[in-house]
Amino acid sequence: MRMQQRWALGITLCLLGAACGSSSTSSSASTATTTTTAAAGESVLAYFLMNEKLRVVGRIVETPDPAAAVQALLVGPTSEETTAGMVTLIPAGTEMLSVMITGREVRVDLTGVFASGGGSMSVLGRLAQMVFTLTQFDGIDTVRFSLDGEPISQLTGEGVGVDGVTRSAFTDMAPLVLLEHPYHGETVSQPIRIAGRSNTFEATVYYEVLAADGVKLLDGYVMASSGTGEWGTFDARLADLPPGTKGPLQVRVFDRSAETGEPVAVNEVRINL
């Protein structure tokens, strides 16, 4: 039986002020069940762009559902995030009219401003932002679009198909390691969970946890579900940090260069423990 649900539009957002990175190497991390559920209780993710690649930020909301996530996305990056280089390619003035879930699909109805202006990069970017934001929730993997109440199959003169799109349509817009949890500025407890998407050599995702003064507290690697040309997901909980560790930390995830072994595709966030 197919389930339908319309989410309320009245959502109060409390935006997080966020921007957007020795112990011996260890592989100590326990694999967790892969999930993209919004953080329990109050947070959702919004996806912006930095250097033409997707980046994740967190937002505190009253109800962590797809409608709240879209509203957070439409607000755009904070001034701190903008200073750090984050941008949104969603046209200013775009409003959400409704969000409807049917089975594993979600249809988002936006005002026609969403289709205005921009070339192919702008169009692909705004679609990627919307699709990744909506598919962060368990059970939702496909997005369909309406503008001003009318379903559409293509967006603007670029002819980009939007009649049922998934994250796989925008892999070129994702960094080789996309860290989705934790997000910048998040307050977490131990064991720290790291999760996201990656396309790294032999599916290996490396990580480091640094103290506020740059001292390395923990490092190692986790295995993603796919790699070496194929996108996969990673989701693991790290070993506990040294006793007494608290306060601001930096979490870095990355691949390593096959030639030099140096970190590449680095994605880093600052968190509070």
Instruction: Note if the bond before 191 is cis, omega within 30 degrees.
Output: yes
Do 250 and 127 reside in the same domain of the chain?
Answer: no
Q: What is the tens place of the pLDDT at every residue in 161-205?
A: 898 999 999 999 999 999 999 998 899 999 999 999 999 999 999
Q: How confident is the model at residue 42 (pLDDT cuts 50, 70, 90)?
A: confident
Domain boundary residue among 173, 201, 217? 173
Last residue of a domain, one of 149, 173, 197: 173
| Same domain? 53 vs 153 | yes
111 in a domain, yes or no? yes
Q: Is residue 225 part of a domain?
A: yes
According to the model, what pLDDT value does residue 3 have? 35
Same domain, 71 and 182: no
> Total domain count for the chain?
2
Same domain, 198 and 72: no
Give me the domain span that covers residue 138.
Answer: 38-173
Instruction: Let me know whether 74 and 152 are in one domain.
Output: yes
Instruction: Evaluate whether residue 24 is within a structural domain.
Output: no
Rounded to 5°, angle at Cα 47 from 138 and 42:
55
As a whole number of angstroms, the distance between CA 42 and CA 1 comes to 29
CATH number at residue 200: 2.60.40.10
H/E stretch holding 109: strand 105-110
Torsion, Cα of 218, 220, 223, 228 (10° steps): 130
Structure letter (DSSP) for residue 40: T
Collect all residues with Cβ–Cβ distance below 8 Å to 246 and sequence separation of at least 6: 273
Verify that 194 and 253 share a domain, yes or no.
yes
Whether the CB-CB separation of 245 and 203 falls below 8 Å is answered with no
* CB 4, CB 104: distance < 8 Å: no
Query: Is residue 94 assigned to a domain?
Result: yes
- The string of pLDDT tens digits covering residues 9-35 is 333 333 333 333 333 333 445 433 333
How many helices (H) and strands (E) the chain has is answered by: 3, 19
255/79 Cα distance (integer angstroms): 30
